[in-house]
Amino acid sequence: MDRKRCTLKLLVQPSRGLVDEMFIILVQKAPSGFQLTVHALHKCEDGHSWEAFGHYTADTIGTVNVSEDPSLGGTYSGVEQMGLLWSLRPVPGSKPGLRLRKMNVQIPMEVTISVYQGHQTEGFMDQVPLASVVVERWYMAPGVSRIPITEDRLSATLFLPPGPGPFPGLLDLWGGGGQLVEYRASLLASHGIASLALDYLTAKIIMETGKMVDLQYFEKAYKILEQHPQVHGSSIGMLGLSLGTSITLKMAVYSEVMKLRCAVCISGCHMQPVDGSVEEILKYFNQNADRTRISEENELIWRDVLLPVPSDLAFKVDMGRLKCPLLVVVGEDDQNWPASESAMDMEEMMEQAGNSHLLTVLSYPKAGHLIEPPYTPHARASLFKSLATREKMIVLWGGETAAHSRAQEDAWRKLLVFLKENLYSGSNPGTTSLSHL
C-alpha cells in the first residue's frame, strides 16, 4: 500500500484512565482485507522497554475493532480486548528476569499504540507506523491524596480517596522483596478505600537499627488508619501478598489491637511459628532451604520449602480462631509458595472449628504466584534480591500468560466486591461511590 494514499485512522478510548479500566482500540479507513499489526510500546521507569502486538485483518469496510476481532498471531491470539497490555514483554535484547512494576504512582504509565502495515513480529523501532496514539494508564484517580507516613517510625504511604470521607481503611502488605510498594494501595484508594502501603522488611527503622520490626509495628500502622479523621475506624481490613499473607493471618487471628473487618490473602500460606516474630518467621522459612528445586532454565522453585503442611498447631495459624471474613486467592501453578495446599488445610481447619462460613477461596488453574491488578504483564520468572544475602537470583513464580492474566482480572473484580461488602457494611462511605464495581 502506498503510504501517501493511506488515510488510516486510529482511535483509543479512553486515552486516559485507570490501569484496571478497559480501553477500546479502533482502526478505521483501512483498505478492505488490509493486513495490519497493532503494537503497544511502554518504556518503564527503569529505562527498559516492553512491547506487545497482535495481527489483524480489516473487514469489508476497512475497520479493526480489537475488542471484537481476533488477533491472528503475535504476543496473544483470539479476541483479547486488553491483550496489548497483559501480554507486554521486554523487547528483544533486554536482560533476563525483568518484571514491570510502577514506581512513581503520581505519573501515568504511558503506552504508545501504533499500527504497522502487514503482519510483523520484529523491527518495529526501525519503521514509521501508519498511525500512533499515546494513552495514559493511572494508578491514582484524580483527587486521590498521597500522604507519606513517618510517625511512630513507620515507613508507609497513605492514599486517601477524594472527598471528606470517612472512608473504610485497608493495610496493604507486599512480600519478601521489601521496599515501599505503592501501586496497589493507590489503585484501591481510587476505588474508595483509604489504603496504607507499608514497608516492613526494608523500612528506615530497620536500616537504622539493624533489627527487624516487631509485630507492634503493624499494630502502629493499624492505629494510624484507625485514628485518621478521614477513615472509619471500625471498618479496616488487611491485604497481603506472599509473605504479606503470613503477617496478615497472624495479626487477624492473634492481635488484640487489630480488630479487622475482613482480610485478603493472595498467594500465601498459614504455615509459620505462631509465636514467632517477623525475623523468626523468615528463619522458619529458610530452615528447609535445601528443599529448593532448580528448573531447567536455572530458576529457583521454592514451593516445597514449607511442605508438607504441619499438623502441629505451633507451626500454623489456628484458623479456627479467625473471626472476620477472609478471601484467599490461589494460583494453582504457583511455583513459589504452596498456596493450594495451604488453602485446603485452612478450609479443613475452619470446617472443623465451625467458622468456614467466613472463608472464600478463589483458585485459578494455570495462574502463578504474582497475582496483581488487571492487565499487569505476567512475569513467569524474574530477578529477586535476597534480603539476607543481597544476592540476586532468578525465581520461578509460575503461571501461563493468558490464564494468569484472566485470573488477575477476575480476582481483582471479586476482591473489590469482597472489600466493598465487608468494609462498607454499617459504615458511612463518605462521598465516594463504588457503584461502578
pLDDT for 387: 75
In the predicted model, what is the mean pLDDT of the chain? 94
pLDDT for 316: 97
pLDDT for 6: 61
The boundaries of every CATH 2.60.40.2240 domain in the chain are 10-138
pLDDT for 385: 85
pLDDT for 165: 87
Question: What are residue 64's DSSP bridge partners?
Answer: 27
- 420 to each of 87, 170, 374, 429, how far by Cα in Å? 29, 11, 18, 10
- Using a 10 angstrom Cβ sphere, with 0-12 exposed, 13-18 middle and 19 or more buried, the burial of residue 276 is middle
Residue 329 pLDDT > 80? yes
d(CA 177, CA 155): 15
Residue 411 pLDDT > 90? yes
Architecture of the structural domain at 10-138: Sandwich (2.60)
Average pLDDT over every residue of 275-282:
93
pLDDT for 252: 98
Average pLDDT over every residue of 162-172:
96
**Do 210 and 144 meet the contact criterion of CB atoms below 8 Å apart?**
no
d(CA 433, CA 417): 13
Cα angle 349-350-356, degrees, rounded to a multiple of 5:
155
Among 334, 342, 378, 404, the active-site one is 334
Average pLDDT over every residue of 332-336:
98
Average pLDDT over every residue of 199-206:
92
Side chain identity at 396, as an amino acid letter? L
Percent of the chain with pLDDT strictly greater than 70: 96
- 20 to each of 65, 184, 278, 404, how far by Cα in Å? 20, 11, 32, 15
Average pLDDT over every residue of 45-64:
97
d(CA 361, CA 356): 11
pLDDT for 334: 98
> Cell 492505629 sits at which residue?
223
Strands 262-266, 231-241: parallel, antiparallel or unpaired by DSSP? parallel
pLDDT for 72: 98
| 366-368-371-375 Cα dihedral, nearest 10 degrees | -60
Architecture of the structural domain at 145-424: 3-Layer(aba) Sandwich (3.40)
The boundaries of every CATH 3.40.50.1820 domain in the chain are 145-424
pLDDT for 7: 82
Nine cell digits for residue 166: 470517612
Nine cell digits for residue 59: 473487514
Would you call 378 a catalytic residue per the annotation? no
pLDDT for 213: 94
Among 242, 246, 342, 382, the active-site one is 242
* 88-125 tens-digit pLDDT: 999 999 999 999 999 999 999 999 999 999 999 999 99
- Using a 10 angstrom Cβ sphere, with 0-12 exposed, 13-18 middle and 19 or more buried, the burial of residue 311 is exposed
Average pLDDT over every residue of 385-389:
76
Would you call 410 a catalytic residue per the annotation? no
Residue 429 pLDDT > 50? no
Side chain identity at 230, as an amino acid letter? Q
Would you call 55 a catalytic residue per the annotation? no
Long-range contacts from 73-82, C-beta under 8 angstroms, 24+ separation: 73/119, 73/121, 74/37, 74/121, 75/51, 76/52, 76/401, 76/402, 80/54, 80/402, 81/22, 81/23, 81/24, 82/22, 82/23, 82/374, 82/375, 82/405, 82/409
d(CA 349, CA 371): 25
DSSP per-residue codes, 294-356: E-TTS-EE-GGGGPSPPS-GGGB--GGG--S-EEEEEETT-SSS-HHHHHHHHHHHHHHHT-G
Confidence band for 427, pLDDT divided at 50, 70 and 90: very low
DSSP annotation of 111: E
Three-class DSSP category at 198? strand
